[in-house]
Structures are given as C-alpha cells and as structure tokens.
Amino acid sequence: MKLAIVASAHGFGHVGRQLAVVEGLLHAGHDVRLYTAAPPELLRIRGERRPGQLEVVPWRVDVGLVQSDSLTHDLAATRGRWVEATQRIDALAEDLVGCERALVDVAPTGLEACRRAGVPALAVGNFDWAWIYEHYEPLREFVPQMRAWQAPHRGIALSPGPGLLGFAAVRAFAAPLARRDVAAGEAELGRVVGKRVLVAFGGLGLDRMEQWLPRLPGVTWLIAPPSARVERDDVVFVEGVPFVQLLAAADAVLTKPGYGVVAEAMLCGTRLCWVDRGAFPEAPFLEEAMYARGDVKVNGGPAGVAAAVSAALAAPSPPAVARTATSDVIAALIGEESPPRS
C-alpha cells in the first residue's frame, strides 16, 4: 500500500513517535510518504528499504503553538500562523492524491486535507489541538473549525494524555508509541567521564541553557543537535547519534514534560528530571505518569536542577516497558475503513 504519515510541526514529539510507525511500515513492504517540518538530521530511519520506498516531503502542516523556547508560548503569533496553515490545506490535499490511507498526528489541517483528497485518514495523538486551543482565550475562536475537521475521522488515543475528543470513534492504546534502540557505545561517547545526563528540550530549546546547568561533581551533560552548543568542560556536544540511543545511554535526562521523551524513557528505562512547563494543558497528564515512575521534578532554577539530578542519579532506574503500541497503530491504519465524506 502507499501510505501517508502527516505529522504536526509542533516540536519533535509528533514526528518522533511516527518514525516508529514509518519503520514498521517500511519493514512490512509498504510505500510511505512522510510529511513533516522536522530537520533532516532527526529523520534517521533504521533498516533496509528499496529505492523510492520512503519519500520525505518537507511540509509545515500546522503550527500547534508558536513558542520562543520549550517553555514560552506566543499566542498572538499562533493566531496568525494558524490562519496561514488553513490556507495551505488545498495544496496538501492535492499532494496527497495517490495515497491509499493516511495517519495524521494530529493536525486538524492534515485531517481536512485528507478528506478533501478522498484519502481515508486515522488520527493519532495523546491530545487533540481543539482541546489545547480551548484552554487559551485568544485561540478559542478556532476551536469549532478544528472540531469540524476532526469529526469525520476515527482516532487512536495514546497515553499519557487527555485522549482525543470529538472524533467519529476512538480506540485507546496504553503502550507508549516510540522507538526503542540500543544505547550509544563508547565510540560515540568515549569522551564522557562520570554520570551522563542528557539535556533534552527538543527543537524549541531552552532560553539561557547554560544557566540551567549547574556544575555537579562526577556529572557530564550531553547535548545534541538541534540544541545549541554550550562551551564548557563538563558539557559534551554529541553529533551523528540518534536521540533515542543517547537517551538509552544516559543515566538521567533533564527535560520538560513531552510525550516523546516520556514514551522513549519508558521504553529505555531511563530516569527523567523535568522543568515545569507552566500552563500547557497536556503537562499534568504527563507529570502524573512521571511521578508514577519515580521521576524527579525540578523546583526552582540551577539549584533545583542540581537537587533533582542528584536525586535521580541516586535512585535505581525504573524498569523498561516491554511493549510498544507500534504494531497496534499499524494494524489500525491498514485496516481502517473509509471515513464519511461530505
């Protein structure tokens, strides 16, 4: 089958979990067209494939929330970018023609483009954007439009999260949707001395990153693209290693609540320390899961980071989750019936 994967442009969590689906589809012999705004270095696909089996189409299908960094939202800019995204729906619909089915994570504009193209679409996410936008007064006027575009489609609700609301039907999968990989070896991390703490704030980064990283005896911080370098003797900038391998090799991860890093940590059995994400509506659901794993929340600035990292490194690693949702999502996509069309 020729299948499309349409991933939201908000951070890397959406496309990151879809890479697990892409690899599974390629392994099963399907042709895949991946629409994403993620940078090429993030899109390392494991496994053999025949020429032309995977097509990556650079496409900013939606905006999610405009952010200056991982913790700061710009709602005024979001309004303008959302309107721009709605004006590209017909172009995406035209490009989707020829695909037999689509998996959309979880952009309402992507779902509407599939409907206009006549491509049966399945939504997947641990939240939906209509639910997110409803929490912000400047964005609420867009919610009815989003819900109308979501309503004809079936969905898969991932955990942890509030689930999907207002879809034709929803199935819930408890297992994390993410890639699992072996840890990076000494060839990649030979420079690292002591405990390894990976700094992971996605493509949006963190303002004044260096000020968030205290010097801790016996701790080396790992930073990887697309994050900016920090020129310090206790920081190692790692290039050319897939993120999930770094996560598996780390003794702990300093991050913010996000589905991608939480799901990958669950599969790798890696301890997390997290910085408060403020009022982002998804965060409490993720924090509940992180507390249940014994992960540690940062209270305050660098001193709080030091305390949280020290506590995480002193605790045993949580057990790795044995099963992923990848095969379930693929089965649902391949067997999905056509949605109603209007």
In this prediction, residue 229 carries a pLDDT of 87
For 266-295, the three-class secondary structure string (H helix, E strand, C coil) is HHHCCEEEECCCCCCCCHHHHHHHHHHHCC
Indicate if 142 and 11 belong to the same structural domain: yes
Within 8 A by CB and 6+ apart from 263, the residues are 17, 158, 176, 177, 178
Q: Which residue has the higher pLDDT, 123 or 41?
A: 123
Mean pLDDT of 278-296: 95
Give residue 111's domain range: 2-177+324-334
d(Cα 26, Cα 297) in Å, to the nearest integer?
A: 38
CATH number at residue 8: 3.40.50.2000
pTM confidence score: 0.93
Closest Cα to residue 61, out of 6, 11, 121?
Answer: 6
CA atoms within 13 A on the CB side of 228: 10
> Could you please report the per-residue DSSP string of 238-253?
--SS-HHHHHHH-SEE
Q: Please report the pLDDT score of residue 223 as a whole number.
A: 93
User: Over 50: is that where the pLDDT of 342 sits?
Assistant: no
Query: Is residue 65 one of the residues assigned to a domain?
Result: yes
Let me know whether 87 and 210 are in one domain: no
pLDDT digits 0-9 by tens, 20-66:
999 999 999 999 999 999 988 888 898 889 999 999 999 999 999 98
Q: Please indicate, yes or no, if residue 118 is contained in any of the structural domains.
A: yes
Among the ranges given (103-107, 228-232, 270-274, 318-322), the one the predictor scored with the smallest mean pLDDT: 228-232
Task: Tell me the β-bridge partners of 156.
Answer: 124, 171
User: Domains in the chain: how many in total?
Assistant: 2
Same domain, 163 and 261: no
Say yes or no: 54 and 161 in one domain: yes
Instruction: State percent of the chain over pLDDT 70.
Output: 96
Q: Which residue type is seen at 328?
A: D
Q: Determine if the peptide bond prior to 160 is cis (ω within 30°).
A: yes
Closest CA to 133 of 317, 10, 315, 288: 10
Sheet with 31-36: list strands edge to edge: 54-58, 31-36, 2-7, 101-105, 121-125, 154-158, 169-173
Q: Is the pLDDT of residue 9 over 90?
A: no
Same domain, 83 and 114: yes
Tell me, yes or no, whether 153 and 22 share the same domain.
yes
Query: Is 340 domain-assigned?
Result: no
Q: Is residue 341 part of a domain?
A: no
Identify the helix (H) or strand (E) that includes residue 79: helix 75-86
For position 337, what pLDDT does the model report? 45
